[in-house]
Structure 1
Amino acid sequence: MKKVAFLFPGQGSQETGMTKAFYEKDEDVRTLVDQAEEILQVPIKKLMFEGPQEDLTKTEHAQPALLLSSLAALRVLEKEGIRPEMAAGHSLGEYSALVNAGALSAEDGLKLVQKRGQLMEKAYPAGKGSMAAVLGLDESTIQSTINEISEQGEVVDIANDNCPGQIVISGTKQGIEQAVDKLKENGAKRVLPLNVSGPFHSRLMEPASSELAAELNQINIKDADFPVYANVTAAPVQDQTEIRDLLVKQLYSPVRFSETISNMLEKDIDAFVEVGNGKVLSGLVRKVKRRAKTFSVQDPDSMNAFLEWYKEDS
């Protein structure tokens, strides 16, 4: 039997029309999406299928929409009897991975990410924080550069180590603006400001962590059925207490995605399967290991392409 790892996308992978093809074709997906709309008390189906994109992109909508998109693809995979050896998610996607592993119920996962999105939006004044992707510069040079800016009173932190040559920084709007210029001076090929509403995965998110901890304490979290690689540690976790603690820290800690993929590759995985909308993570995996086999499962056609490979004789 082939060994696959499931990867779950995070914010930024949302787009109008997501999950619609599965919804139209699969009765279980229809039930899932319709129930989610009742749980969330927002017209999530219309936002996902029709937009407008600017409303779908709002953090409090994008997070449950992306989780729901991943859960829809999971429903179809589970009916085919496909279970991963391990899983990981990028930021928000970690919640999808934990639902997949049985640590969270789908209902609790949806409520949690909706609340998480709201907490992240209010943790820091809208428009006062920013993020940027730094291309072609090593982590130590980036860290020393942003340390200089932080010493001058602006907060700038490393938020995501996505893959070799791509690191995301997060902080105050002025701090990021200063960092863009300084990082280019220090050899970055490009520094691209990101279209986000806040300084995610930076210490500026710490005010939201206590409220998220309170929400998590009301949720029944179970031990995971299989290893889920945590963003904070890039290491596998299954213990419910550790899962709860890491989800709180994840809000203000960097996403160690490149290291996560390297650690998963050591387990002789035959393929990585991106479960949910988009192909962002598949691209990052191939930058960690160029010849790694990847699939994206986001609609019936991509599902069939994966199943054809999975079921062929090894």
Structure 2
Amino acid sequence: MGKTAFIFPGQGSQTVGMGKQLAEEFKVAKERFDLADERLQLELSEIIFNGPMEKLKMTENTQPALLTTSIAVLEVLKEYGIKADYAAGHSLGEYSALVAAGAVSFSDAVYAVRQRGLFMEEAVPAGQGAMAAVLGMDREKLTQVTEEVTEGGDLVQLANLNCPGQIAISGTAAGVEKASKVAKEQGARRVIPLEVSGPFHSNLMKPAAEKMKPILDEISIQDAEIPVIANVTAKEMTEASDIKAKLIEQIYSPVLWEDTVRRLLELGVDTFVEIGPGNVLSGLVRKIDRSVKTMAIGDKDSLLKALDSLKGDE
């Protein structure tokens, strides 16, 4: 019998109106949005459902907004008795995965990621950091490029290893610009500057990681009920102390998404259920292994379609 993994999207998947229809139709979904508003003392659901996009796009709003929407979808799935053997999330999505695995309460997670967003926003003054997606270059070659540029005095490093030939780099604006130029000269197919507010998953985020420590001490972290594959190592984590350490490291370390998916495949996962807005992760999973079953659940239609498929597997 094949295994199932719940996977949770990170920043970039947000849209105005996400989760609204589910909140209107399912009490358990609406309760999540209400609880987020209450814990943050903020009309977060208003920003999620009605925008404006400028407000939703602010990192300190995006992070709790995505987590809340993902967990609202998860609660509806739980009502139908759908469970997973493993969980994983892309960057911010790791917090959603930990909620799904029972390691962190939703209320604590939404508070933690709001703080995480604020700290990441403050870590580097606007315009000083950047990120870019490099297409069609392998990680070894790109690592060499970034190391040479960094040694030259402009920090840049691999940030998201999403799937073969799709890697994001992150660092100082100058570092990313130089590395992008060298990568193109050395055969990268395309380099696309990313619209982000900071150099996420680079060493420039270490101040944010430092500030996250007391926040993670303040909330309650338990051992996970199902293994969560960590972004930082692409290995299972279940122990509370390990989870806390990995969440700190995660802020300035690369997201090993391709390796995470390959680890889940090794563990016998053949069904990947993306929970939350969009279908970015499902697309990446398919690029890594065409043979597995993927589905993305973000609204009522996709939910009903997925339920047919998931119930059919039992």
Instruction: Tell me the equivalent position of 1:172.
Output: 172
Alignment coverage as a number of residue pairs:
314
Question: Are 1:193 and 2:214 an aligned pair?
Answer: no
Q: Offset of 1:60 from its aligned partner? A: 0.1
Instruction: Tell me the equivalent position of 2:84.
Output: 84
State whether residues 142 and 183 of structure 1, in contact with CA within 8 Å, keep that contact through their aligned partners in structure 2: yes
Question: Are 1:312 and 2:312 an aligned pair?
Answer: yes
My pick for the range that moved more, 10-19 or 41-50, is 41-50
- What are the Cα deviations for residues 217-274 of structure 1, in whole angstroms up to 9, with x where unaligned? 1111000001000000000000000000000000000000000000101122231000
Instruction: Tell me the equivalent position of 2:266.
Output: 266
Question: Are 1:115 and 2:149 an aligned pair?
Answer: no
State whether residues 7 and 272 of structure 1, in contact with CA within 8 Å, keep that contact through their aligned partners in structure 2: yes
State whether residues 60 and 115 of structure 2, in contact with CA within 8 Å, keep that contact through their aligned partners in structure 1: yes
CA RMSD of aligned residues (A): 1.1
Q: How does 1:8-157 map to 2 (within 5 A)?
A: 8-157=8-157
Q: Offset of 1:3 from its aligned partner? A: 2.7
Q: Offset of 1:2 from its aligned partner? A: 5.9
User: Residue type matched to 1:63 in 2?
Assistant: Q
Q: Structure 2: state its 5+ residue gaps.
A: none
SS of the counterpart of 1:49?
helix
Instruction: Tell me the equivalent position of 2:160.
Output: 160
- What are the Cα deviations for residues 191-214 of structure 1, in whole angstroms up to 9, with x where unaligned? 000000000000000111111011
Instruction: Tell me the equivalent position of 1:6.
Output: 6
| Distance (whole Å) between structure 1 residues aligned to residue 2 and residue 304 of structure 2 | 16
Instruction: Tell me the equivalent position of 1:244.
Output: 244
State whether residues 145 and 183 of structure 2, in contact with CA within 8 Å, keep that contact through their aligned partners in structure 1: yes
User: Residue type matched to 2:35 in 1?
Assistant: Q
My pick for the range that moved more, 207-216 or 249-258, is 207-216
Q: Which runs of 4+ in 1 moved over 6 A?
A: none
- What are the Cα deviations for residues 82-125 of structure 1, in whole angstroms up to 9, with x where unaligned? 11000000000000000111100010000000000000000111
Q: Offset of 1:134 from its aligned partner? A: 0.4
Q: Offset of 1:313 from its aligned partner? A: 5.4
User: Residue type matched to 1:212 in 2?
Assistant: M
User: Residue type matched to 2:196 in 1?
Assistant: V
Instruction: Tell me the equivalent position of 1:222.
Output: 222
State whether residues 2 and 310 of structure 1, in contact with CA within 8 Å, keep that contact through their aligned partners in structure 2: no
User: Residue type matched to 1:178 in 2?
Assistant: K
SS of the counterpart of 2:269?
coil
- What are the Cα deviations for residues 12-34 of structure 1, in whole angstroms up to 9, with x where unaligned? 00011100110111112112211
State whether residues 2 and 268 of structure 2, in contact with CA within 8 Å, keep that contact through their aligned partners in structure 1: no
User: Residue type matched to 2:69 in 1?
Assistant: S
State whether residues 61 and 117 of structure 2, in contact with CA within 8 Å, keep that contact through their aligned partners in structure 1: yes
State whether residues 232 and 253 of structure 2, in contact with CA within 8 Å, keep that contact through their aligned partners in structure 1: yes
Q: Structure 1: state its 5+ residue gaps.
A: none
User: Against the structure 1 CA distance between its residues 217 and 313, is the aligned structure 2 distance closer, same or farther, given a 3 Å change threshold?
Assistant: closer
Q: Offset of 1:275 from its aligned partner? A: 0.5
| Distance (whole Å) between structure 1 residues aligned to residue 136 and residue 159 of structure 2 | 16
| Distance (whole Å) between structure 1 residues aligned to residue 307 and residue 267 of structure 2 | 22
User: Residue type matched to 1:12 in 2?
Assistant: G
My pick for the range that moved more, 191-200 or 213-222, is 213-222
My pick for the range that moved more, 49-58 or 82-91, is 49-58
State whether residues 10 and 89 of structure 2, in contact with CA within 8 Å, keep that contact through their aligned partners in structure 1: yes
